[in-house]
Each structure stands twice: as C-alpha cells, then as structure tokens.
C-alpha cells in the first residue's frame, strides 16, 4: 500500500502546519508523518505544487527525497493535482494507492481508476489517534467552525437559565410567603 498525499491540501487543513515559509510548512508535515506514522507501515509519497522559479520552463515534475520521504514537485503548468492523477493512472496497481486530499476534483478524476480515497481528517486524526498523546491538540482550520460561538451561546444560555431558576424560586417563596400571610390574616379576620 502507498499513501499519495496532496501536500499543500493537508498543510492548509490544520494550524499545526503553520509556519513563516512554505519550506517550513513542508518540513512540519514531513515531521508529523515521521513522528506519528499515520500511514502505518505503508510507503508515503507527498506531492507539492511547482518548485521551479519559471512556471514555463518545464511541464512535468521532479522527484526528490526529504528526510527519507519521497517528495514530488510539479513543474511548469502541471499542477500537483495533475501529477497525482497521472501517478494513479500510470500505476500498475492503482488499487494499492490511497490518495489523501480534500480536493473533490482529484477524487472525481481518479474515481474509476481503482485508487482508494481518504480525506485529510481521516489521515491525520483517525489513523494517527493511537499514536498521538492525549494532550496533543491538533487544531483544524474550518470555514464553518462555530464551536466558539456555540460555546459562548451555550454559556450565556446556561447563565440566563440559572438566573431564571433563581428568580422563579424567589417568586415562589415570595408567593408562598404572601399566601401564608394572607391565610393568617384571613384566619384572624374570621375569628
């Protein structure tokens, strides 16, 4: 089995790969793979977009090894997506490849080729959860992450609910007290 990883797609998914430069971001991804081994005992190939300074000088890709992990950089007008699709198409055993990306375009393009598909979340969290320490927090970047808002609203709602319960208890005690006083006055008046 080989894991073919859409490098920048994974990097953009989580804050844990944030860094000042693309090179440092790539290093963080590679270090994560080496440390947590989310691919298990399987081979890993990471594909990144254009390494060349002139995007028109070539139209292909270059393969290198960074910290022992096979890394491919697209060149020229060929994107990392194109390299991933071509890699799967040229494979003699595409069913032994798992493509890791959140790019639905890549998933569509490799759809009938036999390669397995895995989302970035599955790769990072589900595959790595056994190796990660309980205190190791991985922060995800999500467009629609409303957890902070939900937490704030929940706290506000609970606070208002507690306050409302306190007021209801006071009113009940007050009503009980008033009723008792009225009952006593009524008893006195009737005597």
**pLDDT tens for each residue of 31-82:** 999 998 899 889 999 999 976 555 555 667 888 888 889 999 998 788 999 9
Would you say residue 10 lies in a domain? yes
Specify the pLDDT at position 115: 97
* Domain ranges, residue 166: 146-191
Would you say residue 135 lies in a domain? no
Integer Cα distance of 38 and 130 in angstroms:
9
My answer on whether 24 and 58 are in the same domain is yes
Integer Cα distance of 64 and 26 in angstroms:
13
Write the pLDDT tens digit of every residue in 100-158. Answer: 999 999 999 999 899 999 999 999 986 656 555 555 555 555 544 445 555 666 666 66
Tokens, residue 42: 């399987």
My answer on whether 89 and 161 are in the same domain is no
My answer on whether 96 and 166 are in the same domain is no
Tokens, residue 109: 């393009």
Specify the pLDDT at position 92: 95
Q: What is the CATH number of the domain that holds 15?
A: 3.40.50
Would you say residue 139 lies in a domain? no
Integer Cα distance of 182 and 188 in angstroms:
10
Contact 75, 57 (CB under 8 A): yes
Contact 71, 90 (CB under 8 A): no
Would you say residue 133 lies in a domain? no
pTM over cut 0.75: no
My answer on whether 52 and 119 are in the same domain is yes
Q: For residue 184, is pLDDT > 60?
A: no
My answer on whether 37 and 113 are in the same domain is yes
My answer on whether 8 and 41 are in the same domain is yes
My answer on whether 35 and 108 are in the same domain is yes
């Amino acid at each position: 089995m080989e894991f073919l990883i859409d490098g920048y797609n994974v990097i953009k998914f989580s804050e844990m790969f944030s860094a000042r430069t693309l090179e440092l971001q790539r290093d963080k991804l590679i270090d994560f793979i080496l440390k947590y081994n989310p691919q298990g005992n399987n081979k890993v190939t990471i594909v990144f977009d254009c390494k060349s300074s002139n995007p028109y000088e070539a139209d292909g890709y270059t393969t290198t090894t960074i910290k022992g992990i096979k890394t491919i950089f697209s060149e020229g007008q060929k994107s990392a997506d194109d390299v991933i699709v071509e890699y799967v198409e040229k494979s003699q055993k595409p069913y032994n490849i798992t493509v890791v990306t959140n790019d639905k375009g890549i998933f569509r393009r490799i759809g009938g080729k036999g390669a397995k598909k895995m989302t970035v979340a599955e790769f990072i969290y589900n595959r790595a959860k056994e190796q990660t320490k309980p205190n190791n927090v991985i922060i995800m970047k999500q467009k629609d992450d409303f957890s902070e808002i939900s937490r704030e609203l929940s706290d506000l709602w609970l606070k208002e609910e507690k306050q409302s319960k306190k007021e209801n208890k006071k009113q009940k005690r007050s009503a009980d007290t008033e009723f008792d006083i009225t009952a006593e006055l009524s008893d006195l008046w009737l005597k």
